Structure 1
Amino acid sequence: VGRKTEQKASICPMAAAANHGTSGLETEETVAKRYEEIGNRHQGDIVLSDLQSDAANVGATQIVQDAFRWVKGIVPYEISPEFSQLEMNQIKYAMDRIASYSCVRFGPRSPTDRQYLNITASPTGCWATLGMNLLANQLNLQREGCLETGVIMHQLLHVLGLTHPQSRPDRDFYVLVEQDAIDTSLKKNLDKYQKGVIEDFGIPYDYESILHCQSDAFGSSASNRATVVPLVDVEIGQRNELSLKDVRKLNKMYDYEYCG
């Protein structure tokens, strides 16, 4: 048992390669982020429960209520045997990184755990359910393209209940969403939430978040233009490390004085 600290590890600076829309070069990181856009899921890589879907569409309640937070910050998990031992170790390493910043703990499922995270390698894409759901909790990491540590941490934060910064109700004060550059069939993925749907814990907009989309997310191949443009000179879309604000938000959501 240890007392929670504000910060237990250093936060890496954002990599120049993170902004694919500027560089025009495909790196392992940007290729991995493409898999976040595969499939007809909420904002590309989130699976919502019916209750959460109603909240997102109607805006009457929060999308991640207290009931959707993992009890005592403990996430039991079960990993598919489809993964190699090396791949399993990579997933566990990403879990350990998140745990080092917070009181969140990941551990193998026991027979008494009714709610647990099922970690799978199929079907395609990098995606996850949002928060703790009573019926099913799944993290899918396609073996080709989804096993970068930062990508795994991005998805684990969804599992813990965190959402994308670009979906915040106040996002238009920080980024310009170029609607005519977005693939017509994917426009809904860059919609913003209505006020009151998500909890920001009083933490300002975070360009550096590991959850922020890249600058050409959901872009039309015909336009070849940025879809999300910061209103200040910063890069977006890194998948290297949790930002300071990611850590603050996580510790606000799972606020325990002592870590078990």
Structure 2
Amino acid sequence: MSFRKTSLSRVSFSSAFWGTYIVMKLVQSGPGWGPSRHLCALVFCSPQSEAAAPYEPLVMFGDIIVDPQVRNADPCTANDCKWPKSSDGKVYVPYVISNQYSTQKKSTIECGLRSFHTKTCIRFVPRTNQQDFLNITSLSGCYSSVGRRGNGQVLSLNRDGCVYFSVVQHEILHALGFHHEHTRRDRDGHVKILEKNIEPGKEHNFEKHNTINLQTPYDYNSIMHYKRCAFSVNGQPTILPIPDNNVAIGFATQMSPNDILRINRLYKCHRCHFKIVINHKSCQN
């Protein structure tokens, strides 16, 4: 299936993935939010797109920041987007968390960061004077660049709708270099994209990437998978699992084994760098 190129838009919330979280827990509801009579009402309720503040970056593919100079390219496959590995075999990713967050929400973010320490060689460390780092801040939605982009790259977790363990993991995976599961180059053998149900102007969220996949299978349980009614214009599915249409997608609450395996393969992590597993339930919202 092919999609024509569409103009990019600025979006306020990465609604395609967060779905139920945002509908249930958004504190300040705005125009476009509310109950739906359609088939997917209990699964996903999409807000209307709206203009972002002038200082906010261009967002494409729902929650991915795209440099205007490379907006039609896959910046992570076109360039080396990985964070550098240290001589000790670990990958240290400096970060700064804005003081916009409450103590509890900052703790949730930090718990999401630490969850990568348990089964990968990724280590998130508070920034001291490093040039490249993650600037975790509360802008108008949940979004990140794909891979390392240099300097203080924005990773937005809106404090009123995005600070959940699963959302933190999802956006961090983008920052480590990973795209959404349904945009894999081999997706057509696993899902059917129903273009007629996609909201006009949002078709670009379903374009395929020339992903390398790291010899891992398509994963319906990936935390990077969209819900079946993502960006639906009529409440009907936009993503249909095949051959079994009843397979659940988009409901992961934490990284799947394949998500973890991909990190370890991309960054060539050695098992001796994994830490003792923490109780993820203590991180849940």
2:156 aligns to what SS in structure 1? strand
What residue is the counterpart of 1:4 in the other structure? none
2:179 is the counterpart of 1:152: no
Q: Deviation string for 1:113-142 (max 9, x for gaps)? A: 0100000011x1100111111244211001
Matched residues in 2 for 1:23 and 1:185: separation? 20
- Residue type at the aligned position of 1:175: V
Contact 1:64 1:130 in 2 (8 A): no
What residue is the counterpart of 2:3 in the other structure? none
Q: CA deviation at 1:65?
A: 5.9
Contact 2:202 2:231 in 1 (8 A): yes
**Corresponding pairs, count:** 225
Matched residues in 2 for 1:183 and 1:246: separation? 28
2:181 is the counterpart of 1:165: yes
Matched residues in 2 for 1:67 and 1:110: separation? 24
Contact 2:131 2:152 in 1 (8 A): no
Contact 1:168 1:192 in 2 (8 A): yes
1:71 aligns to what SS in structure 2? coil
2:122 is the counterpart of 1:117: no
2:210 is the counterpart of 1:210: no
Return the structure number with greater helix share. Answer: 1
2:95 aligns to what SS in structure 1? strand
2:276 is the counterpart of 1:259: no
- Residue type at the aligned position of 2:134: L
TM-score using structure 2 length? 0.72
2:214 aligns to what SS in structure 1? coil
Map residues 23-34 of structure 1 onto 2, 5 A cutoff. Answer: 24-25=41-42
Map residues 53-64 of structure 1 onto 2, 5 A cutoff. Answer: 53-56=71-74, 63-64=76-77
More moved, 155-164 vs 232-241: 232-241
Contact 2:64 2:146 in 1 (8 A): yes
Matched residues in 2 for 1:227 and 1:46: separation? 19
What residue is the counterpart of 1:226 in the other structure? 237
Contact 2:40 2:236 in 1 (8 A): no
Matched residues in 1 for 2:72 and 2:59: separation? 14
2:166 is the counterpart of 1:139: no
Q: Deviation string for 1:198-256 (max 9, x for gaps)? A: 22111111111000000101110xx2101001012310002401111101101101113
Q: RCO (CA 8 Å, sep 6+): is it higher in 1 or 2? A: 1
**Is the alpha carbon distance of 1:49 and 1:198 closer, same or farther for their aligned partners in structure 2, counting shifts above 3 Å?**
farther
For the aligned residue pairs, the C-alpha RMSD in angstroms reads: 2.5
1:201 aligns to what SS in structure 2? helix
2:146 is the counterpart of 1:130: yes
Percent identical residues? 28
Q: Deviation string for 1:91-128 (max 9, x for gaps)? A: 000111122121100010012x0100000011x11001
Could you tell me which of 173, 187, 192 is aligned with 2:203?
187
Ranges in structure 1 where 5+ consecutive residues have no aligned partner: 1-16, 57-61
Contact 1:207 1:236 in 2 (8 A): yes
Q: Deviation string for 1:63-104 (max 9, x for gaps)? A: 346731111221100111111111111000011112212110
- Residue type at the aligned position of 2:41: G
What residue is the counterpart of 2:121 in the other structure? 103
Ranges in structure 2 where 5+ consecutive residues have no aligned partner: 1-19, 24-37, 53-57, 86-90, 275-285
